[in-house]
A and B are shown apart, each in its own frame.
Chain A
C-alpha cells in the first residue's frame, strides 16, 4: 500500500533589487493539500559579524502580507527582520571563558515555522511585499550636491549645478526574502 506523505512544502523566493520595491506575487497551492499548517519567512539580509560594523537603526527589511485571492482577507502579516546575529555557536566561541553569560539563547538557534491551521478553500494565496530596508539604506548621499549647497551658503552669488549621476545600489545590499508554506495533505477525519 502506498501511503500519501502527510506534509508538502512550497517555497517562494522574492528578489529585492530597488528601494521601496513593492512586489505582488501568488502562491499556487499544491494538489491534494487540505490545510496550511506552517508559515516561515526568512531574509538574506544579515548584520555584519561580531566585532565588525553592525547595521544600526531600523531592523526591518520590509513587510509581508499573505491574503486569500480576490477576497483581500489578510491571512498572515509579518515584519521581516534583518538578522542581527551570525550563525556561530556562542558556546563554541566562548569555550575557554569561565561563566558563559547572556546571549546564549540567541545563537546556535534553530529556525522554525509559525504554527497554524488554515483550511484551504482557494487554489491561490496572494502575497504582497513592501521593502523598507533599501528605502532607508539603499540611497547614497551625492557628495557633489551636498558640497554645492555648502558653497552656496557661503557665497550666494555662486551657482553650482551638480551633475546628476545615478549611483547603483551595492550588490551586498540587495537581498531576497523566502516564504515557506507547509501543508497537511490529510483531513482531520483521516487521521
Chain B
C-alpha cells in the first residue's frame, strides 16, 4: 500500500469596504486535510493590499502571524514560480479544529488611495489518502 499526497488550495475572502478599519473572516479547512502546509495572500487591487494592508492570521486558534504583520510580506507577483507561491508556516501543521481566521487591518497610505477592494487568503493543505496498488 502506498500513500498519495494531494495538495488542496482553499480560500476565504475579506471585503474591505471602509478605510482604516478592521475586517474579520474565517473558514474551516477541508475535513480530509491532514496537514496545513502554508498560506498566501492576494487581492483584486495589489497596490492597495501592498501599501495599506496588515493582518493577524490564526490557524486552530494558534497565532501564526501576529497583528500588524504587513500583507506585503505574504504577497508575491507573477514572477514567482507557481509552485513557489506557498509561504510555508514552518513545519506542516495539524489542522486541529480546522478553523482559519484572518483579522485584516486597512491603514492609510499616500501611494494607494482607498476604494473598496477584496483580499483573499489562500490556505494550502495536504490530503493523505491511501492508494492500494494492485
Contacts and interface: CB of A to CB of B under 8 A. Distances in A.
Interface of A: 3, 5-7, 9-11, 13, 40, 42, 44, 46, 48-49, 86-92, 104-105, 107-111, 171-172, 178, 180
Contact of A108 (B49, B80, B90, B91): B80
Contact of B91 (A6, A48, A88, A89): A6
Contact of A91 (B66, B69, B79): B79
Give the residue among A6, A11, A46 with the most B Cβ atoms within 10 A: A11
Given A87-B50, A87-B51, A6 B90 contact: yes
Give the residue among A46, A104, A110 with the most B Cβ atoms within 10 A: A110
A5 B64 CA distance: 9
B101 interface: no
B80 A110 contact: yes
A7 B90 contact: yes
A108 B111 contact: no
A9 B66 contact: yes
A109 B77 contact: yes
B94 interface: yes
B73 A42 contact: yes
B65 interface: yes
Contact of B73 (A10, A49, A111): A111
B47 A86 contact: yes
B63 to A, nearest CB: 8
B46 interface: yes
